Structure 1
Amino acid sequence: MKFLSRKQREHAARIKRFREYSVRKENFLRLQRKHVTNRKIKSNLEKKVIIDLNFSSYITILSPKPRKFLRKITKKFREYYYRGDVCIRLNFKDTKKMFADGTLYLLAELETLTLINPLITFKIIPSDEKIVNQVLQQTGILKLLKLTLKFETDEFDESVKYWNYASGYNSEIDSADSMLDDFEQILSEDTSKNVFTSLTEALTNCHHHAYEEKRFSTETKSIKKWWLFSQEKDGVLTVCVCDLGIGIPRSLTRNTPLVKEDWFGRLKDFIKLNKEKYNHDSAAIKAAIEIGNTRTNLPNRGKGLNQIINKINTMTRHKVSIAILSNYGSYIINRGFVTDLPTTDIINAVAVPYTESIDGTVIVWQIPLDKQNVEVLVKADE
C-alpha cells in the first residue's frame, strides 16, 4: 500500500477546504437571498392596507339577515378590484355553519376579485368551529386565496368530505364530469339524466344571457364564469350553480331582434299583476317560468327555467326542492329544503323578497337519493 507524501496530503487538504468553502459560501448566499426575499415580502405586506371583513354566524343567501351580512362583504370586494396595496383579512372566527348556496356565492365573488386583481393578497382568521375550516379547505377557498390551515386530522367530517366543486367559462359541463359520474352512483338513471338536463339548461342560460351586458356600470373587466357545487349528506344530494351576471330579471327585459314580438307586453302585464304579491324581481323570475319556454324565436335555444322546473317534478316521486335566487328575487318550491318556509308544490311556489341584490343568479336543487329505493322496488317485483 502506497502512502501519500506530506506534500500530497497538504494539497488534498487545501482542495477539501476550498470545496467546503465553496459549499459554505453558496449556502450562505442562498440563505441571504432568501432572507432578502422574505424581508421584501414582509415589507410589502407591511405597506399594504389591511382590510378586516368579519363574517356572520351563518353563510347563506337564502335567509334575509345572513344574506344582508354576506352582501355587505361582497360589495366591499368591488372597492378593491383595482388596488394593489390591499390585503383583505377574512375573519371566520364567529362563523358556525356554511351552507352550499352562500358558500358557492362567496367563492364566486372571491374568485372574481382574484381574477380581476391578481395583486390582492389575503389573510384569514379561522373559525372556532373545525367543520367550517374544513369546508374552506374542501371547497377550494383556501387554495384560491393561497392560504393554508393546519388540521388535527386528515379525516374530514362526514358533512364535509362529500363536497365537490367545478367551474367553467361556457355552457359545456365537461369540467364537472367526475361530479356527474358520482351522481350516477347515487341516483337512479332517470333522475341522473334529469339532473344533467337541468344543469345543462342552467349553464346554457348563463352562457347566453348572464353576461350580455355589464354587471355594473363601472365594470371594465367581466369574468364570464359559472361555478358549481354538489354535496351528499344524510341521503340527500344538494346541487348548486352560480353565475355573477346581470340576473334573470334584467336579462328578460333586454331587447334584441330575436325577441318575440309579444314578449314585452306579456312580461309587463305579468309583472304588474304579480309584483305586489311578491316583488318585481320575483315576479320576473315567475314570468320566465310561467309565461313560456323562451323569449326568443330561436328553435335551437333551450327552454329556460320552464324546463328546469318541469324536470324536478319528474324526479324521485315529486320530492325535489328547488330555489332560484336572482338579484332581489326568488322562486322556491320547498319540499322540506328551507325549514322556516311553508312546504310548497309546483303550483304554489313561494317567493322571498330580498332587500339586497346578489347581482347574479344562484340555483339550488335538493334531491333525495333514489337509486337504492329503485333497486329495492325492482327486486320486490321480481
Structure 2
Amino acid sequence: MNGFLFVVRKEVLHLRRDATSLVIALLLPLFQLLVFGFAIDFDVRHIGAVVVDQDRSRESRAYIASLRNTQYLDPDTEVATAEEAAKLIQNGRARVAVVIPPNFGREVAAGRSPQVGVLLDGSDSTVSTRATLAFSAPPQAAVGGRPQARVQVLFNPTGRSQTSIIPGLIGVVIQIVVVSLTSSSIVREKELGTLEQLMVSPIGRLGLMLGKLAPYAVLAMFEFGAVLGGAFFLFDVRVVGSLPGLIVLAIPFVFASLALGLLISTVAKTQAQALQLTLLTMLPSILMSGFVFPQETMPGMLYIASQAIPLTHFLQILRGIIVRGSMVVELLPSTLALTAIAVVLVTIATTRFRKSVE
C-alpha cells in the first residue's frame, strides 16, 4: 500500500510540473462540447438560393416571400436566366435556383398550379435534401393554384453518398496525416537534442521553417495522388473538372496544413502535448469545415471562425472540381484564402520559434 501511495504522489507531482498538459486535458472536453454543441445541427436552414423571376408579378413576389418564410431558403440573389443561375451553383455561390415561368401570375389567378423550375446542387446531399422541404405544400395551401416544383439535381443526380462524401474525406485524410507528421517535428528535435546542432548553424528561422516543410510537402502531394487514385478505383469517384488544376490548387492547402502542424510543434514542449494540440484542432476542423454538417447551420461567430480553417476552403475546391466540374479561376477566392492562411501560419510559427533549448 505504501508503494501505491508513493506512485500516486509521484504522478500528482508530474502533473503539477506539466501544467500545459494538465490545462489541455481539462479544457479540451469543455472546448469540444461547446464547439460540437453549436456546430452539430441536422436542421439545415437559410440555404443560399438564387431566383430567376421571369414573370415579375405580384404573385411571383409573394411566392418568393413564401419560400423565404419557410426559413429553409434565403433567395437573396436574382439573375436574368436559368443558365446564369446554374453557373452560380456550379461556382459554389448558391445551392438552389428557383426559376419562375413568365405565365406564373396568370396560372395562379386562374386557380391552376404552375410549374416552377428548381435546380439543386447535389454535391452536398444533406443540403439538397433539406432544400426540397421548402417546396412542400403546407396543409392549408393544398388547393388549386399551388405552384408545383419541378426539381432537377445538377450534380450527383442519383444522390450517391460516395460522390458526396469521398471528395471531402480526401481533404480530411490529408490534413490529419500532414498535421500529425509535422506537429512533433520541432519537439522531436528538442527531445533528441539535435536542435543544438541547428543552433550553431547559420540557418535563419524562416529557412529552418521552410526546410522543415519541404520534405513533408512532397510526401503530402504523393499521398494526395494516392488518395485520388483510391477514390477512383475503389469508389468510382471521378474528377469531373480539371485534374491538373486540382493538383495545383492542393498545394496551398498542403502548405497551410503543414504550417498548422509546425505551429503546434513550436507551442508544444513534448510530443504528448503536440498530440493533444493536434486533436484539439482536428475535430473542430472536421465539424466546422462543412464536411459533416453544412456551415449554414452554424451561429455567426462559429461561421466566421470556420473561415480560418484550411479544410473549409479546400472542401470548396474539392467539391467544386471533382463533383461540379468548376473551373480553376472560379475557385480563386478559396485558393487565395488558403494561401493567406498558409502565409499567416508560417509567419506565426517563425516568430514563435527560438533557436534555443528550453
TM-score interval, smaller chain? under 0.3
Higher RCO, Cα 8 Å, sep 6+: 2
TM-score, reference length from structure 1: 0.22
Q: Higher Cα Rg: structure 1 or 2?
A: 1
More helix by share: 2
More strand by share: 1
